[in-house]
Amino acid sequence: MLVALMIDDEIGRCERDWFNRTVVGLLSAGHRVVRLLPDTQPDDPRVALTPHFIYRISGLPWTVNASIRQLCESLQSSKPDVIHAVGAGSWHGALMLAGLLDCPVALSVWSREQAKLVQRHAASANLGAVLPAGEALARDCARSVSRDLIQIVPIGVYVAPEPHRILAQVEFSVAVILAGSGAPYAAVECLIDGFAMVAPDFPQVTVFADIDEAVKARSWKRAGDRSVRNQFSIIPDVLEHRELVLSASVLVVPSPTGRNTSFLLQAMAAPMATVAARDAYVDVLDDNDAATILDHIEPAAWATALRRLLSSPDAARERAESARRIIAERHSMSAQSDLLSSTYDRMLTGGNVTLPA
């Protein structure tokens, strides 16, 4: 089977490691793969064993459509059996291309916003499957597309054979990663205020914040107002420092975003002790066995959770190891490849892909 894996600019920038591993996983499962990349993303030599084609994502609608028609001509000699589009920015192009090539399309849905956007494409004759990353997303998708088209495919990540030991020198230095991309300022402020309540008792702790540009200045000022600026730092680009970030001990997720990412799963698989606001659209942040989950977002709740974690490193390690096992069981790359393979097969043979009861 020849699978055309199509991504948008956001996936190309933020999920390159996941994309490369998915390509390799599909190859290992016996498929041939062609990569369809936006013109904003260069080719990656690490997966150069698979061919790639570029399509245009910016400009006037007719120029973008012309780019898809040109892409269709390029694929005529190796027509894909299935197109799998990851990232909502690739969906329109994928469905247009599928209409020209007469093949089915699978749409991956990783966020609450994407689940809403599925409705726009529900009537497409070439829509062969919708692949939500979790159960809540599947329920939302089922409001606009047939349940027979829905197959839950959790994001797969690599889990290293050996975990790194967190809080190994808790009395000397502790790195806390604030995973705040997409979080509103109010949520970041709440966490800073909570951290300020415990910071005097744990001067060895530093919070490294991955937050959106729009909230950086206000967050930095708030850290100064709460006298924790010497223990608060902003990461300029977490994607460029992912390996370093994943060696930290603690991950803090300040608000529900309704968005699944491979970074969160990689962090929990490392493992990192995770404290997070409950997020029904992210399965591992709705599971008390995987993380310390907060239902009420207020400074006192953050302070209590952080104090308990920093005061009891053995318990924190035990919870982190539980999260690592959960990621290995539910989010392995091999499980993702198996689900994708079976879904592609049923898309071509007419078998139903069903949402579990």
Q: What is the pLDDT along the chain (357 residues), one digit of tens a residue?
A: 999 999 999 999 899 999 999 999 999 999 999 999 998 887 777 666 789 999 988 766 778 889 999 999 999 988 999 999 999 999 999 999 999 999 999 999 999 999 999 999 999 999 999 999 999 999 999 999 999 999 999 999 999 999 989 998 888 999 999 999 999 999 999 999 999 999 999 999 999 999 999 999 999 999 999 999 999 999 877 776 788 889 999 999 999 999 999 999 999 999 999 999 999 999 999 988 899 999 999 999 999 999 999 999 999 999 999 999 999 999 999 999 999 999 999 999 875 544 444
The answer to whether residues 274 and 290 touch, using CB atoms and an 8 Å cutoff, is yes
The answer to whether residues 260 and 109 touch, using CB atoms and an 8 Å cutoff, is no
Q: How many CB atoms lie within 10 A of CB 211?
A: 23
What is the rounded distance in angstroms from the CA atom of residue 351 to the CA atom of residue 127? 14
Strands 2-7 and 52-55: unpaired
What is the rounded distance in angstroms from the CA atom of residue 308 to the CA atom of residue 265? 23
- 3-state DSSP call for residue 338? helix
Q: Which pTM was predicted?
A: 0.92
- ∠ Cα 291 296 301 (to 5°): 70
Report the side by side order of strands in the sheet with 52-55. Answer: 52-55, 32-38, 2-7, 82-86, 105-109, 127-132
* Domains of the chain: residue spans and CATH: 2-156+332-349 (3.40.50.2000), 174-330 (3.40.50.2000)
Handedness of CA 243, 247, 253, 259 (dihedral sign): positive
Question: What beta strand segments (E) does 87-133 contain?
Answer: 105-109, 127-132
